Homo-oligomer: A and B are copies of this chain.
Amino acid sequence: MNVSIIGIGLLGGSFALAVREKYPKMHFIGVDTSPVHGQLAIAKGIVDECLPLEEAVAKSTLVLLATPVNIITDMLPKLLDLLPEGATLTDLGSTKELICDAADQHPKRAQYVAAHPMAGTENSGPGAAFRDLLPGKNLIICDREKSAPDSIKLVEALFRDIGMKIFYMTPKEHDLHLAYVSHLSHVSAFALGLTVLEKEKDENTIFEMASTGFSSTVRLAKSSPQMWAPIFDQNRQNVSKALGDYIEFLQQYKAIIDNQDIAGSLDYMQRANVIRRVLEGIEKK
């Protein structure tokens, strides 16, 4: 069976590395606009060969689209046009409403499975891919009922075989929740990075004074702008709302300290401490 990975970055590359370990005979074809990424992907054993898009798709049973989300929405209808009969197309985009919209009117909609793994790091490109990124994590599939049973079966089997747990929701639910539990964390880290960088023009001061708490909170500010700008744009209504809620909580706390309201301060943090239970749930996953 041939599998094409379009966009051989962190997610597409990590998927290939995990699946290849389970299925050593599967043949992986890389498609990437960057020849350097292609060569690196072959050297790292992510794919067996790189081919031009049309050639790769024509010989594939499964096509995995793992580019930034703006390119996913652009390419999806064209890829469905090219997709051989009986083959399946899936994507790993961090937004789902616009992507599913782009597929919905296509006569071959049933050959597409809308997927999103709850996994990532702040690094990107094939050099950042690693076999253990996806195993043990969750996968969200949207609009499952719009996909053909055989396509669902193939996609779910591969993700389950690499140790992922599958959940289902509508694209609308997906994008709303993601705005809060993922996209907002990224904006908060980017803004924290900018705030501290602007104040601490002399970077040595940050080296000397920052501890692991700062590193952990700001880590996502290292993430790829090319990947995140289209996500925030496609999910802008939910992200804008989440960001508005977040700013409100910050303003509440600013008022608490400005008013020297110690009881309010304790209460605010105690309510936030409930996140400990949630994090223990995530870490147990």
The interface of chain A, by Cβ under 8 A from chain B, is 118-122, 137-138, 140, 167, 177-178, 180-182, 184-200, 203, 205-223, 225-226, 228-230, 232-233, 236, 239-240, 242-247, 249-251, 253-254, 257-258, 260, 262, 265-266, 268-279, 281-283, 285
Contacts and interface: CB of A to CB of B under 8 A. Distances in A.
A236 B221 contact: no
A59 B204 CA distance: 41
- Leading 7 A-B pairs by shortest Cβ distance: A225-B269, A193-B275, A193-B272, A185-B217, A191-B249, A190-B272, A229-B265
Contact of A271 (B197, B216, B254): B197
Contacts of A275: 193, 196-197, 218, 221-222
A38 B274 CA distance: 27
Contacts of A282: 206-207, 210-212, 214-215
Contact of A274 (B193, B232, B257, B270): B193
Contact of A253 (B197, B212, B243): B243
Nearest to A118: B211
A276 B253 CA distance: 28
Contact of A187 (B122, B245, B253): B253
B222 A216 contact: no
Contacts of A191: 246, 249-250, 253, 272
26 contacts: A118-B210, A119-B212, A120-B212, A177-B205, A178-B209, A181-B196, A181-B200, A181-B209, A185-B214, A188-B192, A191-B250, A193-B275, A194-B272, A195-B242, A203-B277, A203-B278, A206-B282, A207-B281, A215-B279, A217-B220, A218-B279, A221-B269, A222-B279, A229-B265, A229-B269, A243-B257
A261 to B, nearest CB: 9
A229 B262 CA distance: 7
A68 B1 CA distance: 62
Contacts of A167: 208
A184 B210 contact: no
B257 A236 contact: yes
B194 A249 contact: yes
A114 to B, nearest CB: 15
Nearest to A210: B181
Contact of A190 (B254, B262, B269): B269
A9 to B, nearest CB: 16
A215 B283 contact: yes
Given A191-B272, A203-B277, A211-B282, 7 more contacts: A177-B200, A181-B210, A185-B214, A190-B253, A190-B268, A222-B273, A240-B257
